[in-house]
Chains A and B, each alone.
Chain A
Amino acid sequence: MTATVVAAGFVGFEITWRADVFGGAPQASSAAQFGTVGINFRARKARTSEEWNAAVEELSCAVA
């Protein structure tokens, strides 16, 4: 998810919360089968192309 958010033009991606939000729902769900949790996340649109390029570079280093 980090890569997709950064690729779209954002920087500073951060997941701030995660929790099981499907457990006990009235109907059966495939959520548990796929290890699905609810999350909150934030990011910020890059102010300049230089800032975005730096975020992409950082991401590439992390992947490598």
Chain B
Amino acid sequence: MTEISRSIPGTAQPVDGLDIDALRHAIQEEYSTVATTPEQGFHFHTGRPLARLLGYDDRWLDGVPEATIASFAGTGNPFAVGELQPGECVLDVGCGAGIDSIIAARMVAPGEVVGVDMTPAMLERARASARETGVTNLDLRLGFAEQLPVGDEWADVVISNGVMNLFPDKLAGLQEMARVLKPGGRLQIGDILVSKTVSQKDKRNVDLWKG
């Protein structure tokens, strides 16, 4: 299906000449800093003020450690797109410090949530948060969006927040999401939209990917 998919007009193509290892390293470095010293300030908003800006209900954050909330760095609100139902299986791609995974775990219990992130420092923060909040239906795994450590057709819903724009190959990342979703499964994503044309030179600029 990939060859057919790539030939569909308007489909995002991989960026020629982009150093993917350098990009991943830069992203891991940036988000490790967000996880460990969120108070330093970034080119994006973070924490509770951001959650409010994005329409998160304060009740969703009850009991979530403040250090974890401080590391929140989403760009949208996957829960505003559609309700999660008890018993559903949810995959959170790029779960970061784990706020969305914890919110989802509470919404779908006794259903299950898997959170995947490629940044060890963020996963460490997310695991500590899960322990502190007492959720038992959340499994946090290290992995890349393009190779999700989840079986075929496991999820009823895939959520993600502020992550898809960092995929070096957006079609490959979305196809992975499709692979793990059941037929008819829902995609509920917060991300960004760029309205101006980005040159190939700029697309190869790792610093611009970060902000």
Contacts and interface: CB of A to CB of B under 8 A. Distances in A.
B2 to A, nearest CB: 9
B9 A22 contact: no
A3 to B, nearest CB: 3
Interface string B43-72: 111000010011100000000000000000
Contact of A36 (B174, B181, B194): B194
A43 B9 CA distance: 19
A2 B174 CA distance: 12
Contacts of B189: 40-42
A10 B178 contact: yes
Contacts of A35: 194-196
Given A4-B11, A34-B194, A63-B10, A42 B82 contact: yes
A contact patch SS? mixed
Contacts, number: 155
Nearest to A52: B1
Contacts of A38: 54, 75-76, 162, 190-193
Interface residues of B, number: 50
Interface in A24-42: 24-31, 33-42
Nearest to A3: B10
Given A38-B54, A40-B81, A7 B44 contact: no
Nearest to B170: A4
A45 B158 CA distance: 10
A1 B189 CA distance: 12
Interface string B79-122: 01110000000000000000000000000000000000000000
B171 A22 contact: no
A41 B174 contact: no
Given A16-B81, A37-B192, A44 B41 contact: no
B184 to A, nearest CB: 5
Contacts of A16: 80-81
Contact of B193 (A5, A24, A36, A45): A36
Nearest to A37: B193
Contact of B198 (A4, A17, A34): A34
Contact of A7 (B53, B171, B188, B192): B171
Which of B76, B81, B186, B191 is packed against the most chain A CB atoms within 10 Å?
Answer: B76
Interface of B: 1, 5-6, 8-12, 41-45, 50, 53-55, 75-78, 80-82, 162, 170-171, 174-175, 177-178, 181-196, 198, 208, 211
